[in-house]
Each structure stands twice: as structure tokens, then as C-alpha cells.
Structure 1
Amino acid sequence: MTRPTTRRATTRSIRASLLTGAAVFLLSGCTLVTTLAGGGSGGGGGQAEDVDVIPTGLDPSIQTFYEQDLGWDECGSGLECATAEAPMNWADGTSEQIELAMVKVPASSGNPIGTIFTNPGGPGASGVSFVRDSAQYVFTPELMEDFDIVGWDPRGVGESSAVECRDDAGMDEWFYGVDEDLDPDTATDEQIIAEVTANSKEFADDCLENTGALLEFVDTKSTVQDLDLLRALVGDPKVNYFGFSYGTDIGAQYIDMFPETVGRVVLDGATDPTLSTFEVVLAQQGAFGEATRTYLEDCLTTTSCPFTGTVDEAIAKINTLMAEADDTLPVNADGRKLTSGVIDTAISSALYNDQSWPYLSDAFATFETAGDPAGFFALSDSYYGRGPDGTYADNMFEAFTAINCLDYPVETDPAKIADFNRQIAESTPIGIPGPEALGDTTCQQWAFPSTNELAPVTGAGADPVLVIGTTGDPATPYAWAEAVTEQLESATLLTFEGEGHLAYTQGDSCITGAVDAYFIDGTVPAEGLVC
């Protein structure tokens, strides 16, 4: 998800922002009502006789990739792994080759209906790690009985040909570095913007130097073309796909680019491909603001809540605490210094999952009573995938920046930037506004500016697809699911009334039943079904 950068956090520490998915486990129930839909072939698990899995009319240099042998090898715990090759530049099949890492959980029946590809979000999250470590917790036994579940690391991510910007110490500096030469109370807007721009330029230069030519070709549309390649390599004439959070963008773009090879596609926590970066951030800030208030309303009903009084009084207390942190820079046990940016990230992390709310309350309570910021750092570290030893689990946030800078055109109009910052200040209950002239400095410094045009997806002629929206989702607001459902010609919206990010992962029988019936039998939920 993307969070605002406060003036003090901007002055003290340079932080990256993120749009990522997180599993939540809130149980509820409803009555499932379905209708049978025509079509919706899911494809086969192996090479189907008399069915073309390779598109016709391909350039010979591209067709070579579609004809490669994909060898699956055992890689522990019943899993199978493979590596596919793809062109770095899909517009030039003779360009340098890249590798795409894949992992498969074979169907427990031994006779799969087909393959379900899946992506957990980000951009930048590892599909390999997601399937390897979490498939049995996320997907139902019924789904895993009938389908091979395949995760892959998109180009730029994880075990595939990957974006590399900095080592662990360098990423610590990017997320947690503190500039003590700038006083957050007296620094001018010009000084703040100059400092942020210099840091952003250094980070962008590091990414180009350490990644090389790949940095230009990690956009989502290239990943969509990779997905069609992988579909053919597993022998499926149509793609079955389950996307979460940003993973829904991959799915929606696939439906639009390859409608004739769409099988059964589920988009949970859908994003709206028509929105600019500013529109995405503004929508998220409204949703996270509501989630903050919901958390505080719940907290104030408990005896262990570190706040008293009203929600507005609790928000005022948090803002005061954040300002004081920037003034005093409390030191964590490992030497890192607490800023409002760390607190802001900790709050964001907890709001993805209402089961994390007690950890956020504990962090505030421990800091208030003992001056110990460890709880804030623990939540922030979990957000960034940073281990207690200071190592980062993967390159998610390097890839996140690289992909977003290619996917979203950068706004440079000073008037629009100022208007955006004013709207952020109005919509965000937590934090102190930054300079009105501060834009997206990281992507402004990026080596390869975005050439992507934001446009609605239609998927004309595609088989029926399923979009899921959660009413209390702070990271991918429900309105986005409504919007992408409206755009896609064959989409049906399934609504989950609840808090947190994503629906299928919450274990609600109404949601899982509808999704499983869709994948297994091609049964599409009734229009307007609410769980």
C-alpha cells in the first residue's frame, strides 16, 4: 500500500512506500446462492490433444520461447520446481533472455483439472515463496485436490531475474536512515525537497547500476506476456488464475490482452487500472483513515487500550507522539532511531489485519510506559520483511519501486502536485503535512520513465471472471472492485462485508465456497451476492 510522507518524516528519514497484500483471518458467514454459467473451460493439466496452446502467428524468435521444454524437478515437501526462459524485451525476441522461477504444488488427486497460477500482490511479492510456504493455508483442500497450484516470481522479483538496488545495510538506510542535520521544525520546504530528491536520485542510480538493462522491462504488461508463456508451457489452452491485491492487476491486464485464452480467473482485492498514482494514494488514505478510526473505536472499548477519551482525542495523542519522536529521536535497542515515519509504518502494518490491532496497542502502551520503541520497529520490520538480524527476506520493495515507476506516469505539474498534497493533508488523520511542492521524487529520478497509458480493461469475449471486494479493505478499497467489475465485460462482483485486506484468506465459507465452485465447476455466483 502507499502511505503519505509527513513533513517531519520526510525531513528525518527517507522511506519507500508499498502496495502489498497480507492474509487476514476474520470469520463470518452467509448463504451461498449461485447460478450456472456457460463456458468457462479451465484447460487441462497437461498437453491437450487437438488443442493449440501456442498462439498462432508468433514471430519465430518469440515462438522459440513457447516451444521450450519445461522440466519440473522435485524440490522438497512434495513440491516441484522449474525455470522458464523469456525474452527480456517482448518486442524483440532476440533480446537478452531472463529467467522465471516457478514452484508447483501438484493436485492431491493426481489427476488435475488444470493449473491455477497465483500471485500474492506487491508489486514485488514472491509467488514462489507464497505457494511454497502458504498454499496449504490459503487454498482449500478441495481446490488443491483438483488443481496444480503454481506460483512464479514475476520478472524483477525474488528468484527470477531480479531487480537489485542495495544490500541490507543500504535498505536500512533507505527505510530507516535519519538526517540529523535538518531540523524538522526549522527546515524550509526547499531544504526538505532538496534532501529528499538527493536521496531518491542516489537510490535510483543504485538500482540502475546494480540491475542493468532489466530495469527497463519489469512492467506489469511484460509480466502479463510472461504469464501467457507459462500457461502454454504447462499445456493449458486457457489460463486459470487467482490474483490477490496487486496480483489482480496482472489478472485484469491478462483478461484485456488475451481474452481468448481466459479460463477461470479470480481477482481478490482488485485494483482499478484507470487510476493515477495520486488517485491511488488518495483513495487509500481515505480507506486507511477509516480503518484507523475503526481500530481506535474498538481499542477504546477494551481495558488494555493505551488511549482514553474519544477517537479524535486518541488521534491527537498519536500525532503529538509522532511529532515528539521526530524531535527527540528515541533509540531502539539495535541503535535505530524512532521517527514519525516508523510509527506511521507500524500503524499501516497493523491495519491490514484486525488480529494485529493488539500488537499496535501494545506498541503504544510500551512506548508510553517505558519509552521503548521496540513494538513500533517490530511492526514496521514485519511490513518490510526485515528480520531481527537486519536481513531482508527478499527484494520486494526494490521491485515494488521499479515496477510502479514503469506502470504509473509521473505527475510533474506543480499545481496538481500541490492540490494532491492539500487533499492528502485533509484526508489523513495521522501525520503532519509535507511540502506542497513535493512530488514523486523517486520515480522522477528513475532511469526509465513510464510510457504506460492508464486505461480501462474490457476483456471483450473473455469467459466469465470473478471479482471480490471487501467493504472494509484499507489497501484496495471496495470501490476499486466495483470499478474493475464495471470495466470487464464478463465480470461478476462478489462482496465480502468485513474488515482487513482480501476476502478468500479470511476463511469465510460463503467466499471460499463461491470461489471453489467457480474454479472446479465453472459455477458463477449470483450477481450481487454479499457474504
Structure 2
Amino acid sequence: MIRPARRRRQPAAVVATLLSAALLLAACGAPPKVQTALEDVGKSDGSAIEGAPKGYEDYYGQSLEWTECGEDFQCATASAPLSWHDPGAGSIEVALKRIPAAGQKIGSLLVNPGGPGGSGVDFVADPTRFGQSLRSSFDIVGFDPRGVGQSTPVKCYDDAGKDEFLSTDYPYTPEGLAERQDAVRAWGQACAENTGPLLGNVDTQSAARDMDMLRGVLGDDELNYLGYSYGTQLGATYAGLFPDRAGRLVLDGALDTTLGSDEVALQQAEGFESALRAYVADCQAGSDCPLGDDVTSGLQKIQAMVEDAEPNPIPTSSGRDVTKKLAFYGVAVTMYDEASWSFLTQALREVFWEGTGDDLLYLADVYNDRNDDGTFKSNSEEAFRAINCADARAEEDMTKMAEIADEIEAAAPTLGESFGYSGIECTDWPYPAAEQEFDPAAEGAPPIVVIGTTNDPATPYRWAEALAGTLSSAVLVTYEGEGHTAYGRSNTCVSNAVETYLLEGKVPEDGLTC
């Protein structure tokens, strides 16, 4: 049989840019020239200190020293307490980067790209992610939450150890699962040894308390906030802790804060299954699709490729093999934005028609923030695991985990196996999960805009519906489309609703569909 000619491979820089945009929720539009002068934004009238918890007045009262860090950016480092329950425990650093308002400033807008483990400092490095009207009126401030990136970070393995951890497969056998538990246990021990007591203080509630401190230091009486994905959990937690200090909050790609970890795994697996089904149909409607012409069989072909990579890793020209875990990452990363689907098609052509996995490995490396030389661009994996384990625990009984895994595979047969046994991921974690200290309904908070995308793989639409129902003052905006989140990657209906609310306080109609 003569194989169709393989399309020219996209330059690596092009692929990385588009996939990073998918993962970090890129927007469109041209950035204006920023002309705001450097200034000390510490609150001069002392009112920020009035809202500080006892023992933390100095943190709320600090002044930031902003320095230029690029033509249109300013950077600073804030001090935060190691523990919000023990003011004498010491301090950590929180890194900030802002795009100063190009016009008449009305306040600051804190932003978080998700994760957990996503860098807000990196996120604001591309001003075009935000509408020009927002850039004109707000200082847009990205920050790396505690444990993340340029803030005092969670540290675990060196690059070689991390690379092995992220690529090693463990069969779903008693022996394989025991080996996986041992590997996770060793990872947690390394995190504790190399991070210290910060590891026990990276929970979302602590990060939300950091945000209130930053609100005061930035000189704002109320917090204006735009959070995506996990950033919606962070924003909802803030509203639950500080309803009287919540300003205009937009939560895009919402998490259901009432779900347990196992329910999250099940429903997220279903979300990726739905997105993959849409992808396969789109692929088969075009030319040179390597998945045949039937959606069900196309999904089965992807499933077989991922499963077979465990006993038979896919070779690459670099000498590295694509394991089952890496094959999963390579497929999953392209589901965050339909603009990335063509890269998956390109990778699948190579696997099925040439028997090699260079493109699929590249996609997995983008997902993991891995460089070609084996180093990593960020500590997102370390922070992701640490924050999740600090917030909650999944079912840890192996018999019950097996039952849950079967349920997930039945609901999401293509990639569902990779979502099973989530209780292993915090095996013997060195610190307990934080106890909930906030009101999930955020009673007393002003209107909060919650946005959901109807075929979002990572944060299924039902989660947006649930969060809007949980928060007492929420309104729900729906984007009918594919991909993860909506603002900045969907349409003017969504962007107008978000920007009008943030700038003017005009609340969108509850149930608005775009």
C-alpha cells in the first residue's frame, strides 16, 4: 500500500507558540505602548494595614519596589508569611509582573492562568492576552502563587530525576501499582527535603490570603480578579474568605469546588473523551487523516496507540522513546484549543505512517515544559502535585480505587485509564491536607461572573454550572464551543461581557449564551 505523502512538519517555534497559547489561554489584539512611570504603589494612607490579620500588619503595609523588566513591563517581589496561621514562622517571596495602565488607571487587575502551578508572571508577558480597554484602565498584575515559578518555589528532583518520573510507565497490575506508589512516595520525600516547611503551606487558601495581602499592598480597597481554570478555584476561595473585599471577579473555565478528587478525575476524563470525539470527527472531515472515516474506530485507533506504547514505546530520532505516559501527554495537550488539533494530526500521521514519534514526543515535552536538552522551563509539575495534595486527598484504598478506575474507563474508554488510581498521587504525602476555612457560597460577595465552555475538556461545562450554583451571587456566561476557557480565545460576545463588567461593573445577564 502506498502511503499518502506526509505534510511538512511545522517549525518547532511555531508549534510551541500555539500550544503555549492553548495552555496559557492566549488572547488576541495589539498591545498599546505603556507610558506609565515607575511609582511606589505601597498604600500611603495606612488603610491597607487596617485590614490585616493580627501579626501580619507589616506584610500588608509593605511598599513594593517596581523595576523595569522589559519595554512594557514592571516587576517586583513581595514578602508573604510562610504560614497564615503562625506569623512568627518566617517569610517567603511572591514574584509579580505588571503591565501598567496605558491610560487613566482605575485600579489593579490580578490575573491567574490556572494549573495549579501556572505562572502569572509568564502569563502577562504577552499583553495581547487582554483586551485593549482592560490594558488602558488597569494595571494588569500577574503573580506566581506561593510554591510556583519565580516565587519561593517547591523543589523536588533534579531535571534527570524529574524526566524519569514523568516518562516511566507503571502497569495496572498489583506489582505495577505498588511500584507507582513507591515512586510517588519517593517524589514526596524529595519535595519535603528540598522545599522545607513551605511544602506544608502551599494550599489554595494560603494563596488566596496572599492575594488579599497583594490587594492591600497594591492600594486597592477591593480585589478585581480574572482567573482561569484552577484560577477559578483560587478566586472562589478568595470570595469565600473575604466576601466584603471582593470586587469584580471573573472566573473562566470554572472548577466545581464541591467535588472530591475522584469525581474530578471521572468528569475530566469524560471531558477529554468528548473533546477527542470532536477532534476525530474534524480530522476525518479533512484530508490525509490517519484515523479512517468512522469516529468510533478512530478513537479506538488512538486508544490502541497509547496502550501499545507501554509494552512497545515509540522510537524517535533523538534516542528517547515515547512511553504510554508521554503518548497520553502528547494527545491531551492538543485538546486545550481546537487551533492545536492540526498538530495532533501531524503527530499521528508520523506514528501510523512512519512508525516514529518525534512529533508526539515534542507535544508531550510542551505539556511538561521540557526543553530539548532535558532541562525544564518551570516547576509546574512540582507545584501542581504539591498544591493538589495540600488541598485534598482522593480515595486511597486500593480496592475502591480499582472500582473507580473501572468506572472511569467505562465512561471514557479512549484515555480514561490514564485518569485512574488518582489516590496514589499523594501516597504518604509529608503534610496533611488543609482544612476548609472559607464559605463556598461566598455569602455577601458582589456579583461574580462564571464562564463555561460547552465542550471544555479540562474543566467540563457542568463545573461552571455547578460553581455558578454554589456561589450565592454568581451569574453564568456560556460559550458554545471547543477548548479550554473562553475569554481571549472565543468571540466578541464573551470579551464584551467580561470587559464591560470589569470596567463598568455592568453585570452580564445570567444565562447569557455566546
Give the TM-score of the pair, scaled to structure 1.
0.86
Cα separation, 1, equivalents of 2:259 and 2:181: 25
Change (3 A) 1:439 1:128: closer
Equivalent of 2:411, from 416, 424, 427? 427
CA-CA distance at 1:344 after TM superposition: 1.4
Cα separation, 2, equivalents of 1:288 and 1:346: 13
Change (3 A) 1:56 1:372: closer
Equivalent of 1:95, from 64, 70, 89? 89
AA partner of residue 448 (structure 1): Y
**5+ residue gaps in structure 2?**
1-21, 30-39
How many residue pairs end up in the alignment? 483
Partner residue, 2:484: 501
Equivalent of 2:275, from 268, 284, 291? 291
Cα separation, 1, equivalents of 2:100 and 2:26: 25
Equivalent of 1:160, from 136, 139, 151? 151
Cα separation, 2, equivalents of 1:68 and 1:337: 50
Q: Is the 8 A contact 1:267 1:467 kept in 2?
A: yes
Cα separation, 1, equivalents of 2:510 and 2:213: 32
Q: Is the 8 A contact 1:53 1:232 kept in 2?
A: yes
Change (3 A) 1:320 1:69: closer
Q: Is the 8 A contact 1:47 1:236 kept in 2?
A: no
CA-CA distance at 1:454 after TM superposition: 9.6
Partner residue, 2:472: 489
Cα separation, 2, equivalents of 1:159 and 1:321: 37
Partner residue, 1:120: 113
Partner residue, 1:12: none
RMSD across aligned positions (CA): 2.3
Cα separation, 2, equivalents of 1:427 and 1:433: 10
Cα separation, 2, equivalents of 1:435 and 1:258: 34
Equivalent of 1:515, from 495, 498, 508? 498
Q: Secondary structure at the match of 1:358?
A: helix
Equivalent of 1:357, from 324, 341, 348? 341
Q: Secondary structure at the match of 1:440?
A: helix
Cα separation, 2, equivalents of 1:512 and 1:292: 26
Partner residue, 1:443: 426
Change (3 A) 1:455 1:64: closer
Q: Is the 8 A contact 1:410 1:444 kept in 2?
A: no
Report the identity percentage: 39
Cα separation, 1, equivalents of 2:367 and 2:53: 42
CA-CA distance at 1:279 after TM superposition: 0.6
Change (3 A) 1:245 1:439: closer
Partner residue, 2:258: 274
**5+ residue gaps in structure 1?**
1-19, 28-44
Partner residue, 2:49: 54
AA partner of residue 130 (structure 1): F
Partner residue, 2:355: 371
CA-CA distance at 1:422 after TM superposition: 1.4
Q: Is the 8 A contact 1:259 1:459 kept in 2?
A: yes
CA-CA distance at 1:177 after TM superposition: 3.3
CA-CA distance at 1:204 after TM superposition: 1.1
Cα separation, 2, equivalents of 1:250 and 1:439: 22
AA partner of residue 124 (structure 1): G
Partner residue, 1:458: 441
Cα separation, 2, equivalents of 1:285 and 1:434: 8
Partner residue, 1:83: 77
Change (3 A) 1:451 1:51: closer
Partner residue, 1:471: 454
Cα separation, 1, equivalents of 2:159 and 2:136: 40
Partner residue, 1:230: 214
Cα separation, 1, equivalents of 2:340 and 2:263: 27
Change (3 A) 1:26 1:442: same
Q: Which has the higher contact order (CA 8 A, sep 6+)?
A: 1
CA-CA distance at 1:53 after TM superposition: 3.1
CA-CA distance at 1:259 after TM superposition: 0.4
Q: Secondary structure at the match of 2:244?
A: helix
Partner residue, 1:390: 374
Partner residue, 1:418: 402
CA-CA distance at 1:308 after TM superposition: 1.0
AA partner of residue 159 (structure 1): Q
AA partner of residue 312 (structure 1): T
Q: Is the 8 A contact 1:469 1:494 kept in 2?
A: yes
AA partner of residue 447 (structure 1): P
Give the TM-score of the pair, scaled to structure 2.
0.89
Change (3 A) 1:435 1:262: closer
Partner residue, 1:4: none
Q: Secondary structure at the match of 2:507?
A: strand
Cα separation, 2, equivalents of 1:277 and 1:98: 29
CA-CA distance at 1:414 after TM superposition: 4.3
Q: Is the 8 A contact 1:443 1:449 kept in 2?
A: no
Change (3 A) 1:508 1:68: same
